[in-house]
Each structure stands twice: as C-alpha cells, then as structure tokens.
Amino acid sequence: MSDGFAEMVVAARAFFAELAANNTKDWYEPRKDRYAATIRKPAEFMADLLAEDLSRLTGRSLQPKVFRLHRDVRFSKDKTPYNTHLHMMWQSPGNGPAFFFGAAPDYLVMGLAAMGLEGDRLTRLRAMIDHDGDDLSDALAQCHQTIGASFSDWGTPPLKRVPKPYDEGHAHADLLRRRSFALSADLPATWQEHGLMPTLTDMARAYMPLWQQLDALR
C-alpha cells in the first residue's frame, strides 16, 4: 500500500522535466511555491521519517539531508541555475557510509556510498581490500543479486593503474583503483504499490552487509 510519498516523486519527476526544458530564474520564480509545497516540504518530511528507520536498522544516528535546488555555478561552465533532480542523503556523524535517494525524469534510484575517500580513509579502504577483498567482493555480489545494485559513476573516476604499493596483478585490482565507492540500484517496479519508504528501507536492508564493512572505515 502506498505511504503517500508516491505523489511527491511523481510531482518531482514532472516538475524537473519541465525545469530541464526551462532552466531559468524567469521560469522558476512563478513556480517556486509549487516546488516548495509539492516537492521540497514533503521531501524534508520523508527524509526525517526515513532517518529514524535507517538509524534503527544500522544502530547509528543517521542525519538526513535534502540537497538544495540551486546549483553552485562558480566553477562550472554550465551556468544553468537549478538542479533538475531531487537528491537526499542519510549519513552518520564522523563521515560514515551514506544512503542516498535520487529522483529525476530519467532515473529513480537508491544507493550506498562511502563519501570523502581521501587521505587516511582511502588508505584504510585499500588496506581492507588487500586483506579482506574477498569479503568485500562477496558483499558487492550479494547487493547485486538481491536488488541489482552496481557501481555508480558518481564521484571521482577510478585510477588507470593500481596504486602503489599494490601489484597490478592483485586479485582485487579493480577495487584498489577506486577513489570513490558508490553503488546504486533502480527502485523495483512495485515501489508505488509497496510504498516509497518501505521500498527504500528494504533496499537499505539489502545494502547492510556492505554498509557494515564501509562503516569500519570511519
């Protein structure tokens, strides 16, 4: 049974399709109240509610975040002012792994990512891959088998070569080359019937074997 948030997703995808074709302040300003009422406020409410479910699931206090509509165009050649998607994230303090949800005209996904992989955290990830790469590969395979999750192209692209001191012929060379660790999966076709929040909670549960390994990197 729908939990009432399906309407928000449907409204968001329709709104962002229009916005993509009219990405200007002149088009958005007369419609900002529509965006706030049908997308932003329901999204913030859902993010708060799901944070409670995910916190119970993980045993950590996960904080919700709904990403802003306005783009940061300071260092971008693309000066269009608005994002054309709805993105949310749930992450524990201390830079732990984050669940994320994305809705856009061309995708509807939930994922899991280790954010900010650099310095000591990246070193720890590579050490974990070196020593426990089979366990990590098993967790990745389980996520793929259960919900169809696969690596996302979000984040920093992989290195072209295996970083030193690891050998190019390492059994998990593909994982060692990664500088970001983000998986995503499409929501199942039954998400509206099942309800958005129950669907996302079920998908988060499927990610848990991987979440537990990535949480050790904090």
Asked, for residue 50, whether it belongs to a domain, the answer is yes
Instruction: Give the per-residue pLDDT at 19.
Output: 98
Asked, for residue 163, whether it belongs to a domain, the answer is yes
Instruction: Give the per-residue pLDDT at 212.
Output: 92
Q: Looking at residues 123-152, what average pLDDT do you find?
A: 94
Asked, for residue 110, whether it belongs to a domain, the answer is yes
Asked, for residue 80, whether it belongs to a domain, the answer is yes
Q: Looking at residues 67-88, what average pLDDT do you find?
A: 93
Containing structural domain, residue 77? 6-215
Instruction: Give the per-residue pLDDT at 11.
Output: 96
To the question of pTM greater than 0.85 for the whole model, the response is yes
Check whether 8 has a pLDDT greater than 80: yes
Q: Looking at residues 56-82, what average pLDDT do you find?
A: 93
pLDDT in tens, 146-192: 999 999 988 888 999 999 999 999 999 999 999 888 999 999 999 99
63-66 β-sheet, strand order = 63-66, 86-91, 98-104, 107-114, 181-186, 150-151
Cα separations in angstroms, 134 against 86, 112, 165, 168:
35, 19, 19, 17
Asked, for residue 1, whether it belongs to a domain, the answer is no
Instruction: Give the per-residue pLDDT at 2.
Output: 62
Asked, for residue 53, whether it belongs to a domain, the answer is yes
What's the structural domain count of the chain?
A: 1
Domain CATH for 105: 3.30.930
